[in-house]
Structure 1
Amino acid sequence: MKNFKIILIAILVVGLMQSCTKNFIETNTNPNETENAYPYQFMASAFINSVSANMSRNRSFNNELMQVTVSIGDGDGKVFRYDFRRSWADYIWGAHYSEITNFKEMYKKAMEPVTFNRSYQAIAIIGQVWLYSILTDMYGDIPYSQSNLAGDSLIVEPKFDKQEDIYFDMLQRLDSANTLLQIKATTETIDATNDPIYRGDLVKWRKFNNSLFLRLLLRVADKKSLHQDYVLDKIKTILSTEKDRYPIMASNDDSAILRWTNDGAYVSPFKSTRAQDFRAVALCSFFLDYLRDTNDPRIDIPTYGTAGINRMGIAPVSGNYVGVPSGYAAGSEDYSKMSYFYSFDQNNGVNSLQTEPITGMIMPFAELQFIKAEAVLKGWIEGNIEDHFYSGVENNIKLWIPSWTVTAKEHLEKSDREWKDNVPFAEKMEQIHFQKYQALFMADMQQWYEYRRTGHPILPKGKGLQNNGEMPARMYYPVIVQSANPTNYKLAVQQQGPDEINTKVWWQKP
């Protein structure tokens, strides 16, 4: 009997150790899974949690690197000086791999005979590709083909796939999702109450799928590879030769946004931030000066409770909008009184980004217009660059202020920022990507990814920049990966290069 108890305890300990190991890496099993689960039960929480994680890193990491904000201070670990700790790497890795598990469970349930639904299958694919793309663009080579399989295949140490292979597979999966949404039966609808993006509108889901398809195609289109012909041909197919087969976003109404209603689970993660903490981060002069000099209407502080009027809500200093130069040298200046994003104050009737519904940005329609402009500029499709350029600018502002009636051309001409066609290629790229940078405000790390791809917009470099003034090319791998998956971590480093912030990912390399 005594020996039996010892054996039983040993089995339990081994089981617990295995469970703990699984919880430390990206191959988590889903604690909410039940035999009777339905696809829609995974959908809302997966998108809400993913968008919330993106908003956190957008505010604290992307915005600091890309000169939207400056977290004023002279200490170490300041991202705006290209100085950040390895611990920064853990958050997005853990958050997104966890939600990939939910999207995979959603797909599995949508494949079962009782709950078969090609619409949910397609959305589950879109969710996975969206998160995998953020991960691989942040870290480079990542677990992909073997990730999140601990529950099914007991793979607790997944291999790291090459980014080139990941990208080609993601593109094919988006192609398959478009087909699923095209051939679905009329009965294969989705539950609108559990769809936080499009409230059950499958036509818009298909448009988003193909617009995301274009985002990823563009990211690798200039990369010489075995798949470049496929990539360029697919861009032309979607934008030119087979538009009916690949519908894309046509207006701001099609933008992929998780809108915060401040009801139930749909409460912006910004709202829980203390007012003094939300205001503590200053606006960077690179971002703010453009809005000020063009008299951009979005910087006004909105009135609480006014329906249909969105604003960034930027606080002036002594009546002026004053920003902080990014990368300033520690101890060089006192920047304690500068403009900032205003905080929510219901008592004083003031709204702000803390409660703004459209901060749950996934992909705005304006981004698609700038994708088209670049595709025309590079000769991949025919069209008028100027039309796409102004459409991107106009729809970016109208996303925030639908009632805005000034044309983009009129708006930009007042500050001599209208489209200039009689300039070199590089200057045209700068015009497109400066405005695309504005349009990607709040869209996870897309400003950083696009800058790494193109070198635009041209960012000023302060004297206090670390890392020899070089924009980081990737994020470190999380420390836990080195201990929980050491063999594949070492192989990934051998395959990609040193686990350092200056090691370029595949699509950045010459």
Structure 2
Amino acid sequence: MKKILNYIFIVSILVYSSACDSNFDELNTNKVSATSIDPAFQLNNAIIGSAYSTGTLIYEIGVVQQIVSPNSGLLTGANYNQDNRGVTDDSWQAYYRNVIKNTKDVISQIKEDPSRENLYHMTRIIQANAYMVLTDTYGSVPYFEGGVGYSQQIYLPVYDSQQVIYTDLIKELSEASAALNPSGRIETADILYAGDIMKWKSFGYSLLLRAGMRLSEVDPTTAQSVVQQAFQGGVILTNSENASLKHDPNYTNPIGNLLNATEASNFYLTEPFVEYLRSKNDPRLPAIAITYVGAKSGPEQTPANGTYAADVHVGMPMGNDNAGAVKAASDLGLASFYEFAQADRRRLAKNTAQNFLVTASQNYLLLAEARQRGWITSGDVESYFNAGVRAHMLQLGTVDEGSSIALGEIDAYLSANPFDSSKAMEQIGMQYWVSSFLNGPEAFANFRRTGFPILQANPYQGREVEFINRLTYPNSEISVNSENVQAAISAQGADNLATKVWWDK
């Protein structure tokens, strides 16, 4: 009897186990969790990731002497002309992790899918923009093997020279811009242009124009050919076409976020920038700046004592640490260095401010230079120049209504500061500097290419170089991908702030 009971018990367990296992896979499958993602959303992640990192405020924007901080530690950078590898890696990490990783994956998924042809070419354009920033910042970088650790298991990518990278960037931008098809599928999920293919074309050709102009000193023949191609393709020439990231409370502007948080009272407009705008009676100074009159501390920088008045703004002199800034403020009769002018964090530097990748103003000024060089034959230099100045002044009002400049003020400025053909390149370069305010990577690149604006070397006594020409490689790359990094350094030059990138002649 005992054996029979044991047998019945074992059979019951087996039957029960079989019943429990029935449809087990189906029951344990999450039917609401995504198993794939539309590559259009990955492109959106790459677009969002294209916003300029906070590190550009410490380095690139400081190099061109628009904004600096007197503080050291994490904020050491162009304020002291010293290497700070805790910050120089910001753009590297941001672009490889948030842009290149996504664009390379999207391209690998849809390259052979004719139904997503437009998305493929849009992705190539965003990727080209990211790589242009990376190579302009560091020089040689992983290009062909960069960002494919997941898809191709290349974890130690080879570095490519800037000359090789630019050759391929020009090819990519030329092909992608030309191939975008308004009759093809419209990618309505696109957060940059809502799938407007003609605007994407203009964006692509605008980047091609920028790439061509980068070669002006190192390969003028190729530069002229590329610029002509971009111009004929059609570049951004209205503010409604500007390639800008529209930030909101969920996806904030990194620079604006920094200036509205822990570092709100630590960054100031520089003396060279403020004085240039003031010397021209430029209406952009009150549109950009705010001074907190009588402020002796950060908490005293309140809207109640803030003023936009141009005659009140005083820029912080270059080359000061915290103690130096205290003395400089005292020498100028200010209550403290907290009374130096700042980029207004409630208008242009708010955390929801747009992040401009390419603008009509920048394009007009590049076309003015191209016309001056004789590389294009349509239009005249003065008209392009004036259009560039006008477009930037109008652009400020698209960021915040409080920074709007009246048409009458714009006309008065152009009348009082007329274009002078004998100083064409200088005037164009100076206006490009102002037009690229808060676009650190582009202002930094154009400054090195053209030599404008004409700036005095940072006088800080502990500086490592007079002018910063590139940023240094991340410590993580040096320790992990050391063989390829050393090969790049051997070919390019020392991994320091003084070494020039290929096109910087």
2:306 maps to none
The reply to whether residue 256 of structure 1 matches residue 243 of structure 2 is yes
Does the 8 Å contact 1:100/1:148 carry over to 2? yes
Distance in 2, Cα, partners of 1:468 & 1:276: 27
The letter for the 1-side match of 2:196 is D
2:418 maps to 418
Does the 8 Å contact 1:38/1:110 carry over to 2? no
Q: Residue 461 of structure 1 is aligned with which of 450, 457, 462?
A: 457
Q: Deviation at 1:267?
A: 3.2
Does the 8 Å contact 1:275/1:343 carry over to 2? no
Does the 8 Å contact 2:69/2:266 carry over to 1? yes
Distance in 2, Cα, partners of 1:77 & 1:406: 42
1:50 maps to 50
State how 1:14-413 maps to structure 2 within 5 Å: 36-51=36-51, 54-73=52-71, 77-98=76-97, 99-111=99-111, 113=113, 116-181=115-180, 184=181, 186-191=183-188, 194-224=189-219, 229-239=221-231, 243=232, 246-262=233-249, 265-269=250-254, 270-271=256-257, 274=260, 277-300=263-286, 311-315=287-291, 317=293, 320-328=312-320, 331-332=323-324, 333-335=327-329, 336=337, 337-344=339-346, 351=347, 353-355=349-351, 357-358=353-354, 360-382=355-377, 383-401=379-397, 404-406=406-408, 408=410, 410-413=412-415
TM-score when scaled to structure 2?
A: 0.80
SS of residue paired to 1:395: helix
Does the 8 Å contact 2:176/2:204 carry over to 1? yes
Distance in 2, Cα, partners of 1:35 & 1:159: 32
Q: Residue 485 of structure 1 is aligned with which of 461, 465, 481?
A: 481
Deviations 1:268-323 (A, max 9, x none): 332475456323312111112233344444444xxxxxxxxxx5352254661111
Against the structure 1 CA distance between its residues 272 and 283, is the aligned structure 2 distance closer, same or farther, given a 3 Å change threshold? closer
Distance in 2, Cα, partners of 1:70 & 1:474: 18
Does the 8 Å contact 1:316/1:322 carry over to 2? no
Q: Deviation at 1:130?
A: 0.5
Distance in 2, Cα, partners of 1:471 & 1:101: 32
Does the 8 Å contact 1:38/1:106 carry over to 2? no
Q: Deviation at 1:489?
A: 1.2
Gaps of at least 5 residues in structure 1 are 1-32, 301-310, 345-350
Greater Cα radius of gyration, structure 1 or 2: 2
TM-score when scaled to structure 1?
A: 0.79
Does the 8 Å contact 2:61/2:440 carry over to 1? no
The letter for the 1-side match of 2:63 is L
Distance in 2, Cα, partners of 1:395 & 1:495: 41
Deviations 1:362-407 (A, max 9, x none): 1111000111111111121224111111111010001113663137
Q: Deviation at 1:204?
A: 0.5
Q: Deviation at 1:431?
A: 0.8
Deviations 1:36-58 (A, max 9, x none): 3212111222211221xx14133
Distance in 2, Cα, partners of 1:272 & 1:462: 24
Distance in 2, Cα, partners of 1:466 & 1:455: 24
Does the 8 Å contact 1:327/1:464 carry over to 2? yes
Distance in 1, Cα, partners of 2:230 & 2:261: 45
Does the 8 Å contact 1:329/1:462 carry over to 2? no
Q: Deviation at 1:203?
A: 0.7
Deviations 1:214-254 (A, max 9, x none): 00110013214xxx534322222333xxx2xx121121111
Does the 8 Å contact 2:457/2:466 carry over to 1? no
The letter for the 2-side match of 1:366 is S
SS of residue paired to 1:325: coil
Distance in 2, Cα, partners of 1:102 & 1:55: 17
Distance in 1, Cα, partners of 2:348 & 2:229: 41
Distance in 1, Cα, partners of 2:328 & 2:273: 19
SS of residue paired to 2:223: helix
1:500 maps to 496
Against the structure 1 CA distance between its residues 90 and 64, is the aligned structure 2 distance closer, same or farther, given a 3 Å change threshold? same
The letter for the 1-side match of 2:46 is A
Against the structure 1 CA distance between its residues 428 and 330, is the aligned structure 2 distance closer, same or farther, given a 3 Å change threshold? farther
Gaps of at least 5 residues in structure 2 are 1-32, 295-308, 330-336, 398-403
Q: Deviation at 1:35?
A: 5.7
Does the 8 Å contact 2:177/2:200 carry over to 1? no
- Identity value in percent: 26
Q: Deviation at 1:143?
A: 0.6
Distance in 2, Cα, partners of 1:462 & 1:186: 53
Against the structure 1 CA distance between its residues 178 and 160, is the aligned structure 2 distance closer, same or farther, given a 3 Å change threshold? same
Q: How many equivalent pairs are there? A: 437
Distance in 2, Cα, partners of 1:185 & 1:274: 41
Distance in 1, Cα, partners of 2:146 & 2:34: 21
